[in-house]
Structure 1
Amino acid sequence: MRVIVLGAGLLGVTSAYYLQQLGHEVTVIDRQATPAAETSFANGGQISVSHAEPWANPSAPLKVLQWLGKEDAPLLFRIRADMRQWLWGLQFLRECTPARTRHNIGQIVRLGTYSREMLQQLRRDAGLSYDQRTQGILHFYTTQKEFDGALEPAEQMRALGCERLVISADEAVKIEPALAHIRPKLAGATYTAEDESGDANLFARELAKRAAAAGVKFLMSHTVTALREAGGSIDHVEATDSEGRFQRIRGDAFVLAMGSLSPIVAAPLGIRLPIYPAKGYSVTLPVKDASRAHQVSLTDDEFKLVFSRYTSASGDRLRIAGTAELNGYDRDLNRVRCEAIVRRVEELFPGAGDTTQAQFWAGLRPATPSNVPLIGKTKLPNLFLNTGHGTLGWTHACGSGKSIARIVSGLAPEVDFAFTGMPAPAARVLQPA
C-alpha cells in the first residue's frame, strides 16, 4: 500500500520505518526542514517505563489548585477563554480517581515495556547510536510525603513487570554519587535498572536516514493544510511546500502523527481527539565540573523534572526538562519557568553545569487527560492515529510505531493495550468520535 505518514517527529519516523519494513510504500510529510524539529527536538531524553504514574492522579486536583497563578509551578493551568481547554480539564479531573489512575498506569506500563524492548532490538538491528546510556533511572524524593505517595504506584508497576525498586537515601547515593550533596534532604528513592536515556532528536534523525535509504520518501518543509475525504475514506492530503505551492498527495492509508496539531487536522473530519498542548521546558548545559554532574538519568518527582546526560565527540551536556503549562498553542519561553529549572539544578548539583551557556527550549507535548496515547483506527477506514503521547513520546515511540504499522497492515499488535477502534483486552480508552 501507499501509506502517507503525517508528521516526522519520533512517532512519525518510527511509524514510517516499521511500515516500510512491512513492505509498504511510505511518504512522510512535515512542515519542518528536518525530522524531529518540534516536540522531539530537546526533550528530557528518558526511556522511562518507570515514569508511568499519570499527571491525572488522586493527588493532582489539590496540587493544581495550590499551583494556580504560580509562574514556576510544575503543572500550570493558565486559564483561557478556550472551550477545548475547559473540556480537557474536566476530562482530566475524571481521570484522577484511584480506579482510573490504576487502569491508566497499567496501559502506560505495558506499552512502555514493549516499546523499550523494541528500541533495544532496533538499536541492535540498525546499529543506531544516539548518546544513549543504559544505567537505569533513579527517582528521588526530597519530601517524605512525596516519597510515601510513590510507594503504591511503584508496587503496581512491579506487579506489571516494571522493576521499580524502592530504595533508601543511602542506596540512592551509592547508585548516583552526585546526590551526596543533598543526602540530608533525601527521603528515599526508587530505581529501575532497565530504563535508559538518550538523545531523542539524534535518534529520530538517524532512524530517518536509514528509513530514507530503504526507500521512505520524506517531504520536508511541507505544511499539511487538510485531509480530504471522498466516499467515506481519506482520498488525499493537501499541503503547501516551502515556496507556497499547493499539492495533493494521494495514498491508500494515512497515519496521523502530528502531535498537538492532530486534533486540528482531525476536527473537520468529525473526529474529536481529546488532546491539548502541554508546553514543556528544557535547559541544556555544557558540563562544567564532571565530578559534580550526574551519570545516571534522574527524575525529581516533586518538581516534575528529569535529568539526562549526553556524552559524545561534540561535548558533554546536561539536559534537564519537565514541567507542563497549559496555555493553548503558545510557545514563548517564560523566563520565570526557565530560571526556576536552573535554580533547581544549582540546588541539587551546584557547579555541575555551566549556567552562563544555558540553552532554553519549549515544546508542545500532545497530552491526553489520561496520559494514555491514541493509537489505532478511526471511524474512517483508512485513517489511523499515532498521537497523544504527552510526556512519554520517546518512551513509547518504537512500540507505538511498530504497533500502528501492524494495525495498518491488518496484523494484530504484539502488546496488550487498548488501541483505538479495536477490541481491547483491558477496559476501553476514550475513542475518537
Structure 2
Amino acid sequence: MKVLILGSGVVGVTSAYYLARQGHEVTVVDRQPSPALETSYGNAGQVSFGFSSPWAAPGIPQKAVKWMFQEHAPLKIQPKMEPAMARFMMQMFANCSAERYAVNKERMVRIAEHSRACINALRAETGIRYEDRQRGLLQLFRHDSQVEAVVKDMRVLEQCGVNHKLLNGEEITKVEPALGRVPGKFVGGLHLPDDQTGDCYLFTHRLADYCRERLGVTFRFNVEIQRLKRSAGKVESVLTSEGELTADAYVVCLGSYSSFLVKDLDIRLPIYPVKGYSLTVPVVDDGGAPQSTVMDETYKVAISRFDDRIRVGGTAELASYNLALREKRRATISMVVRDVFPEGGDVAKAEFWTGLRPMTPDSTPIIGATRHANLWLNTGHGTLGWTMSCGSAQLLADLMDGRPPAIDPRGLDVSRYAA
C-alpha cells in the first residue's frame, strides 16, 4: 500500500518507521527543511511512560484562577476573543471530574506502556542513539499535600503494572545525588525507574535517516500542505505547493495544525495549541546536575540530563498560535533549575525555545480511522508526543493493516468526540 504521511515530527517519523517496516511504500511530507523542527525540536527530554497523566484533573479549574495571580505558575492564559480557546477550555474543564480523570488516565497509561515496549524494541533493532539514558524519572514534591494527592495516581499505576516507588526526602538523594545539595527543599518523590531520557530532535533525525536508508522511506521537505481533496467518501489527493500528491492511504500527523487540514472534510478535532518553553543549559558540574529526569510537581517543570546539556521544559500557556518568546516564562523555568540544581549548569548561556503542544481536552491522543475510508489520524499527543509516539505509531500500523491490535484501541479514535 502506498501511504502518504503528513508531518515529520516525532509522531510522523515513527509512523513512517512502523508502516515501512510492515512493507508499505511510505512518503513523508513536511513544510520544514528537515525533520523535527517544530514541537519535537526542544521538548523537555523525558520519555515518561509512568508519568502519563491528564492535564484535566480534579481541582484544576480552581487552581487555574489562582495561577492567574502567581508569578511562576505552571499554567498561564492569554485571554483572546477566540471561540476555539473558549471551546477548548470548556471541554477541558468538563474533563476535570474524578470519573473522567480516571478514564483518561487509563487510556494514556495504556498507550504509554505499549510505547515503552515499542521504543525499547526500536532502539535494539535500529541501534540509534540520541543521548539517551534509561535511569527513570523522579517526580518531586515540595509539600505533604502533593504526596497525599499522588496516592490516587499510584493506584492506576498499580492496576497497569507500572513499576514505581514513593520515596521520602532522604531517599530521593539516592536516585538523584545532586538533590543532597539542597537539603530540606523536597519532602519526597515518586520514582518511576523504567522511564527514560533523551534528545527528541536527535531521536527523530536519526530514525528518519534509518527509515530513508534502510526502509526506503521517501521524505519530501519544503512542501506546503494546503488541503485534502476528497471524492466518493475518501481522500483523492493532497494539494501542496508542489502540486497534487496521491496515495492509497493518508495519515495526518500535523500536531496543532491537524484540525485545520481536516476541517473541510467535516472532521472536528478538538486540538488546541498549548505553548511550552524550554532551556538547554550547558553542564558545568556533573555532580551538581541531574542524572536522569526530575519533575518539579509544584511548577510542572521537567529537568532532564543529556550528555553535556540539561534540558529544562515547562509552563503551559494558552496563547493561540503565537510563538513569541516571553521573558516571563524564561524567568520561571530558569528559577526552577537554579533552585533544584543550583550548581549543575550555566543558565546564563542557555538556549531559549518555545513550541506548540497539540493538546486535546482529555489529554489523550487521537489515533485511528476517520469516516473517510483512507484517511487516518495520529495526532493530539499534547505534552507526551515523544513518550507515546512509538506505541501510537505501532498501533496505527496494526489498525491500517487490519491486524489484531497489540493493545485495546477503544476510546482512542476521533469517534469519542462524536457526542
Q: 1:137-177: CA deviations, max 9, x gaps?
A: 11111112222211211222122111221111111111111
The corresponding residue for 2:325 is: 333
Contact 2:50 2:113 in 1 (8 A): no
The corresponding residue for 1:430 is: 417
Contact 1:141 1:301 in 2 (8 A): yes
Q: CA deviation at 1:186?
A: 1.2
Q: 1:312-340: CA deviations, max 9, x gaps?
A: xxxx0000101110110001111011111
Alignment of structure 1 residues 51-70 onto 2, 5 Å = 51-68=51-68, 70=70
The corresponding residue for 1:165 is: 165
Alignment of structure 1 residues 169-188 onto 2, 5 Å = 169-188=169-188
The corresponding residue for 2:360 is: 368
TM-score, normalised via structure 1 length: 0.94
| 2:37 is equivalent to residue 41 of structure 1 | no
The corresponding residue for 2:314 is: 322
What is the identity, as a one-letter code, of the residue corresponding to 2:98? P
What is the identity, as a one-letter code, of the residue corresponding to 2:395? S
The corresponding residue for 1:286 is: 282
| 2:318 is equivalent to residue 298 of structure 1 | no
The corresponding residue for 2:397 is: 405
* 2: CA distance, partners of 1:429 / 1:170: 44
* 2: CA distance, partners of 1:420 / 1:56: 17
Q: 1:321-371: CA deviations, max 9, x gaps?
A: 011101100011110111111111111111211122110000000000111
Contact 2:45 2:200 in 1 (8 A): yes
Alignment of structure 1 residues 15-414 onto 2, 5 Å = 15-68=15-68, 70=70, 72-213=72-213, 214-240=215-241, 246-311=242-307, 316-414=308-406
Q: CA deviation at 1:188?
A: 1.2
* 1: CA distance, partners of 2:413 / 2:146: 37
Q: CA deviation at 1:69?
A: 5.4
* 1: CA distance, partners of 2:53 / 2:60: 11
* 2: CA distance, partners of 1:409 / 1:223: 28
Q: 1:103-129: CA deviations, max 9, x gaps?
A: 111111111011011000000011111
Q: 1:60-100: CA deviations, max 9, x gaps?
A: 11110111255642111222111111111111011100011
* 1: CA distance, partners of 2:302 / 2:356: 17
**Percent identity for Structure 1 against Structure 2:** 38
Q: CA deviation at 1:22?
A: 1.1
* 2: CA distance, partners of 1:336 / 1:322: 12
Compared CA separation, residues 406 and 419, structure 1 to 2 (3 A)? farther
Q: Higher mean Cα deviation, 8-17 or 406-415?
A: 406-415
Aligned-pair Cα RMSD in Å: 1.4
Q: CA deviation at 1:53?
A: 2.1
Q: CA deviation at 1:51?
A: 1.5
Contact 1:366 1:389 in 2 (8 A): yes
* 2: CA distance, partners of 1:409 / 1:184: 54
User: What SS does the aligned partner of 1:184 have?
Assistant: coil
Contact 1:70 1:76 in 2 (8 A): no
* 2: CA distance, partners of 1:148 / 1:420: 30
Contact 1:5 1:28 in 2 (8 A): yes
What is the identity, as a one-letter code, of the residue corresponding to 1:386? N
Compared CA separation, residues 40 and 393, structure 1 to 2 (3 A)? same
* 1: CA distance, partners of 2:395 / 2:250: 15
Compared CA separation, residues 310 and 264, structure 1 to 2 (3 A)? same
* 1: CA distance, partners of 2:155 / 2:183: 24
Q: 1:165-209: CA deviations, max 9, x gaps?
A: 111111111111111133312121110111111111101111101
TM-score, normalised via structure 2 length: 0.97
Count matched residues: 418
What is the identity, as a one-letter code, of the residue corresponding to 2:265? L
* 1: CA distance, partners of 2:398 / 2:54: 27
* 1: CA distance, partners of 2:118 / 2:335: 36
What is the identity, as a one-letter code, of the residue corresponding to 1:233? K
Q: CA deviation at 1:417?
A: 3.5
Q: Higher mean Cα deviation, 218-227 or 155-164?
A: 155-164
| Stretches of structure 1 lacking an aligned partner (at least 5 in a row) | 241-245, 423-427
